[in-house]
Structure 1
Amino acid sequence: MDLTSKKEIVSEIPKFIRVYNDGTIERLNDMPRVPPSPQDPETNVSSKDILFSNDPPLFARLYLPKLSNKKQKIPILVYFHGGAFCCESPFASHHHKYCNIIASQGNVVIFSIEYRRAPEHFLPTQYNDCWLGLNWVASHNTTIENVPKNSDPWIINHGDFNKVFIGGDSSGANIVHNIAMRAGVEKLPYGVKIFGAYANHPFFWGSKPIGFENVEKFEKTSETSNLVWEFVYPCAPFGIDNPNVNPLGPMAPNLSTLGCSKMLVTIASNDRFRDRTFLYYQAVKESEWKGEVELFEEQDEDHVYYMFHPHSDKGKKLIKLVADFLHK
């Protein structure tokens, strides 16, 4: 037997993703992918997949709720899925179900981005892909003669560019923060601005406990958080204190530059990131940012509980909260 040919794990996030010495990658918890639907039987939401960028090739799933008339304009949500920057997809069954419900209850057009994942593509690729997608959506806010060649009629005909939102869950909520910060210093096409941003259970961390964070709990969570961050961004300047993951750290820019008018931050009492996210909310609220931020906490629930149980009482409550935020 040739021992040199034995397949071995060279890097991994236990129970999440494995990379082998032959180059193959095994994503252990990825949910099955489902196709788009001309009309979802539960919500009456239509969905389709589009290629919005040729270089690099990037896809997204678009959602359109049932409208009262053909000229109706509704808010636009650019959505970033979770999965630790290395797993999951907008085409995964649970993300597809979630977006159908949000599109229906929030009465919004959703543009859910299939950004590239680690370890094939390390951060900041994911941030750049999502920024590119947001720019593509914004490029529709012009005369019909100037829209991109790969423009989409759902966005042109029904998108309200005065109500552009970004939203995400877990690592997707981390992307929300970073896109909002970038929008504070870089302009989007044709005068489009981010009206609102929601961050559900965002992945934030750092090298040291801050505020009222419990030291023992911090050290326990740090083992996994550091492993994830090193896996998806091995060359990150300042490591786990990189501003992308530690917006409260000494290297982070001032939160007053957030490029949106309002923000919703949600937490769960049993989530390992709960305390740091609460401190993030406080820091945003106490900064010189001119927007409005609100916080919602669910008791006795863990990280992104609603994503896997959207029809539970607490799942329904969180989804209604997001839907209402998209229409305030």
Structure 2
Amino acid sequence: MASTDSEIVKEFRFFRVYKDGRIESFFPPCPKVPPSDDPVTGVRSKDVTISSEPSVSARIFIPKVSDPNQKFPLLFLVHGGGFCGMSAFAPRYHLFCNTVSAQAGAIIVSVEYGLFPDRPIPACYEDSWAALQWVASHVSGNGPEPWLNDHADFNKVFISGVSAGGNISHTLAFRVGSIGLPGVKVVGMILVHPYFGGTEDDEMWLLMCPNNGGLQDPRLKPPAEDLAKLGCERVLIFVAEKDHLNVVGKNYHEDLKKSGWGGRVELFESHGEEHVFHMNNPKSEKAVEVINKFVSFLKQD
């Protein structure tokens, strides 16, 4: 009899599943760059361990400090990668964070969370929430990280995520609004080409999340009552015209407006562009527009 080892039972955008349970990822190994001090912008970065079991870490960026008492807004960033790839330490995310930190004058905490298949969903949600709570542990100035103790303004905290990270960011803002994050004021949330339910990727998400609530799972399709509880005042949603997730971002925008949530929401569309194009070609005119809009949202009073 022929071996079943090579029989494919499911094939998705990011991986295929064999009959024997093996997962073959379509992602090449993710290159990673070390933290650094940027001599041009003055932005410094370092890596921190948030938890060893499970393994959760983050890269922190801080702009040039001109005054020992200087305070900066804080951006908590969740990378994309379909819940199963990419890294906070990837060159594209390091460059993005370095650029935003310099231009916005903001501290950035870019979280490295557990990925499928090694750690199925909900690890991504739980790891990101643990990292956000770790950030909040510095509110009184006696947390484990001096940069946050000395220079983070916890009255100006933002949550942002790209693609799958946008989905995770929503769950974080919902938790902040539902159960709170003592001492922290989350001013805004920025979703960049976010993923939510309603696409061909939904079956893939359900497989990555063994304990799921089906297509109506609130993490996949946030209901109005969850949207109404978002724990922030402002939301900015980026979509790209040629992105298969374009309609998903627009639906979230409309659903949020109708939910009874009391904040302000804005939609920014990049015409003629694909998914996460600003990461692939960060110096293009449209990518610069995205970065400028992102930075201006952080700098608004």
**Shared fold (TM-score greater than 0.5)?**
yes
Cα deviation code 1:28-67 (max 9, x no counterpart):
2454111111x12453321111101233231111111112
1:306 aligned residue (275, 278, 286): 278
Q: What CA distance in whole angstroms lies between the structure 2 residues aligned with 1:31 and 1:41? A: 26
**Is residue 2:113 matched to residue 1:115?**
yes
Q: How much has 1:195 moved relative to structure 2?
A: 1.4
Identity of aligned residues (%): 40
| Cα distance per residue 1:74-102 (max 9 Å; x no partner) | 00111100001111110111111111111
Structure 2 partner of 1:13: 12
Aligned to 1:215: none
Match of residue 244 from structure 1: 219
Contact 2:49 2:58 in 1 (8 A): yes
TM-score computed with the length of structure 1 as normaliser? 0.84
Do residues 184 (structure 1) and 177 (structure 2) align? Answer: yes
The one-letter code sitting in structure 1 at the alignment partner of 2:31 is P
Secondary structure of 2:93's partner?
A: helix
Residue 60 to residue 19, structure 1, CA distance change in 2 (3 Å): farther
Paired with 1:253 and 1:85, the residues of 2 have a C-alpha distance of 25
Aligned residues of 1:27 and 1:87 also touching (Cα < 8 A): no
Unpaired segments ≥5 residues, structure 2: none
* Distance in 2 separating the partners of 1:45 and 1:7: 48
Contact 1:229 1:240 in 2 (8 A): no
Partner of 1:128: 126
Aligned pairs for 1:87-236 (under 5 A) are 87-144=85-142, 147=143, 151-189=144-182, 191-206=183-198, 222-223=199-200, 225-236=201-212
Q: How far is the alpha carbon of 1:27 from its aligned partner?
A: 4.8
User: Match of 1:48, SS?
Assistant: strand
For 1:257, the equivalent position in structure 2 comes to: 229
CA contact (8 A) 2:139 2:184 kept: yes
CA distance 1:27–1:154, change in 2 (3 Å): farther
| Match 1:85 to one of 67, 80, 83 | 83
Separation in 1 of the partners of 2:163 and 2:45?
A: 23
Separation in 2 of the partners of 1:271 and 1:31? 22
> RMSD between aligned alpha carbons?
2.2
For these two proteins, the number of residue pairs brought into alignment is 299
Superposed, 1:37-76 pairs within 5 Å as 37=36, 39-76=37-74
The one-letter code matched in structure 2 to 1:204 is F
Change over 3 Å in CA distance of 1:22–1:184 after alignment to 2: closer
CA distance in structure 2 between the partners assigned to 1:157 and 1:257 by the alignment? 31
Deviations along 1:261-288, one digit per CA (max 9) or x if unpaired, are 1111111111112123212112212332
Q: CA deviation at 1:25?
A: 5.2
Contact 1:31 1:93 in 2 (8 A): no
Q: CA deviation at 1:125?
A: 1.4
Q: Distance in 2 between matches of 1:143 and 1:156?
A: 4
Structure 1 stretches lacking a partner, 5+ long = 207-221
Question: What is the aligned partner in structure 1 of residue 297 from structure 2?
Answer: 325
Q: CA deviation at 1:132?
A: 0.7
User: Which one of 251, 267, 270 corresponds to residue 239 of structure 2?
Assistant: 267
* Alpha-carbon distance between aligned partners in 2 of 1:192 and 1:256, rounded to the nearest angstrom: 19
CA contact (8 A) 1:84 1:228 kept: no
TM superposition score normalised by structure 2: 0.91
